[in-house]
């Protein structure tokens, strides 16, 4: 979809475009209500800043849509398709190490480990997971908030393009 199309959609239709990137009403409402955007950069900048910080309840709600790193997302939803694409670089040979890391993280923080996986190898992700195990719960909430925003911005940039991108 072109950015100009997104900017001119009805509010409900625009929400339908944005919601799969991050299903947090306070966040997607701010994105939609911030239209029109002059560029994809303005849109992704907004995605990184609006509704900040997310609450612990909002983070838990968002994490409900994210599979564990290294596990293939099931289903036909937009969120599952995003997760499969974003984790495409995660090598299946690292499945055991990622599963062990996921268990350690969940025991420590009582939530699924979330990281922007797009463009990262399994080794990179494992190193980040190990590093983040040393965070306090408060520090980790801030990291998750930032990671959710990075993921949402990437998803929006993939869903909405500028006119020049189609040429």
What number of other Cβ atoms are within 10 A of residue 72's Cβ? Answer: 12
Q: Is the pLDDT assigned to residue 12 strictly greater than 50?
A: yes
Distance between CA 82 and CA 55 in Å, rounded? 23
Please give the angle made by the CA atoms of 100, 88 and 24, to the nearest 5 degrees.
80
117-154: pLDDT as tens digits: 888 888 899 999 999 999 999 999 999 999 999 999 99
Q: Which pLDDT tens digit goes with each residue over 68-115?
A: 887 665 555 555 455 445 554 556 667 888 889 999 999 999 999 999
Q: Can you tell me the distance from the alpha carbon of 41 to that of 144, in angstroms, rounded to the nearest whole number? A: 22
Domain ranges of the chain: 3-166
Task: Name the fold adopted by 3-166.
Answer: UraD-like (1.10.3330)
pLDDT tens digits, residue range 39-63? 999 999 999 999 999 999 999 999 9
| DSSP secondary structure string for all residues of the chain | -BHHHHHHS-HHHHHHHHTTT---HHHHHHHHHTPPPSSHHHHHHHHHHTTPSPPHHHHHHHHTT-PPTTSPPPSSSHHHHHHHHHTTTS-GGGHHHHHHHHHHHHHHHSS------TT--HHHHHHHHHHHTTS-HHHHHHHHHHHHHHHHHHHHHHH-B-GGGG-
* For residue 167, pLDDT beyond 50: no
**Pair 115, 150: CB distance under 8 Å:** no
Q: Identify which has the larger pLDDT, 20 or 82.
A: 20
């Amino acid at each position: 979809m072109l950015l100009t199309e997104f900017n001119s959609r009805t509010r409900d239709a625009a929400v339908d475009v944005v919601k799969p990137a991050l299903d947090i009403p306070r966040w997607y409402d701010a994105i939609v209500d911030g239209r029109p955007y002059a560029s994809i950069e303005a849109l992704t900048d907004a995605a990184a800043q609006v509704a900040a910080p997310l609450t612990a309840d909002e983070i838990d709600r968002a994490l409900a849509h994210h599979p564990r790193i290294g596990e293939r997302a099931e289903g036909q939803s937009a969120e599952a398709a995003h997760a499969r694409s974003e984790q495409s670089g995660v090598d299946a040979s690292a499945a055991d190490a990622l599963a062990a890391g996921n268990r350690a993280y969940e025991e420590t923080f009582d939530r699924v480990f979330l990281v922007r996986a797009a463009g990262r190898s399994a080794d990179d992700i494992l190193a980040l997971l190990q590093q983040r195990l040393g965070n306090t719960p408060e520090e980790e909430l801030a990291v998750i908030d930032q990671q959710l925003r990075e993921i949402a911005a990437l998803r929006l940039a993939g869903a909405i393009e500028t006119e020049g991108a189609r040429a």
